[in-house]
């Protein structure tokens, strides 16, 4: 039985310093059946020359142009011209590890119910401080199974976009990237999960993810903290209605100023808040909040549902363990939303 064709898509802008390495990392894969689709998204001359040279030297490399600015438009142009049964994403400043395709193809072929496959990420810091990115990568790599991905989806994106591979047929069920004032990669994952897509990761590293001052997550307005909270609040609100949590007394864990700022999107979508939970007795007294030690054990009769808006990972984990000990079930009785 012939191995399925994989379409690896690299949108590129001004990427002359890294584009060749990204392309080479795909050419050096240990998987034989691959087409590489490069999409010029108004790139500078140096980047265009690199892409043109590779496309002329390698018959499996195809070069297209997308004049509408944005990775979403560029990727969808590549997608429209792809012939593969499986679609692989890679950014022009990242590197695919040699067994990436064979590893992810094997995962998807042996787990037929999985729609989207990612893997672990190796982080390579750039010329600027990257402590936040390193912590994010550590967190992402700690989340692997379908269930872990589901529970983490409303914290941050639990999948690094250039690490994913999916069945092309999944696009008919869940759709492709959309344009909007939101991080398109995160919105796609939220939408796919809402529609029932199954996502998981291999146990192996699949890419080297590079940080730089020019990375879209640092420069594009769609990746601001406000836009992240707005889009995930929209999807969380629909999820809360779906699991009938909005019929319960919703308590917000966190009574500080930052929490109140973050919760305003959920309020705008119609969330009714019963009260707040906090660890500071003085703050509880001032805001008429419930001190966390006063929180009752979960019973089948009570109607409490807790949303934790604590962003610090260590504190978030403590809250989770505290609630689990009190017989609250994650996903049914509480959700971590950071």
Secondary structure (3-state) at 50: helix
Collapsing DSSP states into helix, strand and coil, what is residue 62? strand
Over the stretch 47-86, which tens digit does the pLDDT of each residue have? 999 999 999 999 999 999 999 999 999 999 999 999 999 9
- Tens-digit pLDDT string for the chain (338 aa): 578 999 999 999 999 999 999 999 999 999 999 999 999 999 999 999 999 999 999 999 999 999 999 999 999 999 999 999 999 999 999 999 999 999 999 999 999 999 999 999 999 876 555 567 888 999 999 999 999 999 999 999 999 999 999 999 999 999 999 988 899 999 999 999 999 999 999 999 999 999 765 555 545 556 688 899 999 999 999 999 999 999 999 999 987 777 878 888 999 999 999 999 998 887 777 777 899 999 999 987 789 999 999 988 899 999 999 999 999 999 999 999 98
The dihedral over CA atoms of 304, 309, 312, 313, expressed in degrees to the nearest 10, equals 50
- In this predicted structure, what is the pLDDT of residue 170? 95
Please tell me the distance from the alpha carbon of residue 288 to that of residue 286, in angstroms, as a whole number: 6
Q: What's the CA gap between 39 and 48, in Å, rounded?
A: 10
Question: Which domains can be identified in the chain, with CATH numbers?
Answer: 6-223 (3.90.550.10), 225-336 (3.40.50.20)
Summarize pLDDT for 180-197 with one digit per residue, the tens: 889 999 999 999 999 999
Q: Name the DSSP letter for residue 30.
A: S
Going through the chain in order, the beta strands assigned E by DSSP cover: 6-12, 34-40, 61-65, 86-89, 95-96, 116-124, 165-167, 199-210, 249-253, 275-278, 290-291, 304-308, 334-336
Question: In whole angstroms, what is the distance from residue 66 CA to residue 88 CA?
Answer: 19
| φ and ψ at residue 44, rounded to 5 degrees | -75, 170
Per-residue pLDDT, 220: 56
d(CA 205, CA 98): 10
Residue owning tokens 């979403």: 72
Other Cβ atoms within 10 Å of 124 Cβ, number? 17
- Between helix 45-57 and helix 19-27 the angle, nearest 10°, is 20
Q: Which residues contact 118 (CB under 8 A, 6 or more apart)?
A: 104, 159, 160, 163, 164, 165, 199, 200, 201, 202, 206
What is the pLDDT at residue 216? 56
Q: Tell me what pLDDT residue 246 has.
A: 93
Count of beta carbons in the 10 Å neighbourhood of residue 280: 14
Q: What is the pTM of this model?
A: 0.92
Give Cβ neighbours of residue 42 (< 8 Å, ≥ 6 apart).
13, 67, 69
């Amino acid at each position: 039985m012939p191995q399925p064709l994989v379409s690896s898509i690299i949108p590129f802008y001004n990427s002359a310093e890294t584009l060749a390495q990204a392309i080479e990392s795909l050419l050096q894969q240990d998987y034989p059946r691959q087409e590489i689709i490069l999409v010029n998204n108004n790139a500078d001359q140096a980047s265009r020359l690199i892409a043109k040279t590779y496309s002329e030297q390698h018959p499996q490399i195809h070069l297209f142009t997308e004049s509408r600015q944005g990775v979403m438009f560029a990727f969808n142009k590549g997608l429209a011209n792809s012939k593969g049964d499986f679609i692989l994403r890679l950014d022009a400043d990242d590197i695919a590890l040699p067994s990436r395709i064979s590893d992810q193809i094997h995962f998807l072929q042996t787990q037929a119910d999985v729609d989207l496959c990612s893997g672990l990420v190796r982080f390579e810091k750039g010329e600027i401080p990257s402590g936040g990115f390193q912590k994010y990568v550590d967190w992402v790599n700690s989340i692997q199974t379908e269930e872990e991905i589901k529970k983490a989806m409303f914290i941050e994106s639990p999948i690094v976009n250039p690490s994913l591979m999916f069945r092309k047929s999944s696009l008919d069920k869940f759709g492709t990237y959309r344009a909007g004032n939101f991080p398109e990669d995160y919105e796609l994952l939220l939408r796919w999960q809402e529609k029932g897509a199954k996502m998981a990761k291999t146990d192996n590293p699949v890419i080297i993810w590079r940080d730089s001052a020019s990375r879209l997550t640092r420069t594009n307005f769609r990746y601001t903290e406000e836009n992240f909270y707005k889009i995930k609040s929209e999807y969380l609100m629909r999820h809360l209605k779906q699991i009938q949590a909005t019929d319960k007394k919703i308590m917000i864990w966190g009574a500080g100023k930052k929490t109140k700022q973050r919760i305003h999107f959920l309020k705008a979508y119609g969330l009714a808040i019963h009260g707040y939970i906090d660890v500071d007795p003085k703050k509880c007294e001032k805001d008429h909040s419930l001190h966390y030690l006063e929180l009752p054990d979960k019973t089948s009769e009570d109607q409490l549902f807790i949303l934790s808006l604590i962003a610090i990972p260590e504190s978030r984990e403590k809250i989770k363990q505290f609630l689990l000990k009190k017989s609250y079930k994650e996903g049914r009785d509480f959700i971590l939303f950071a």
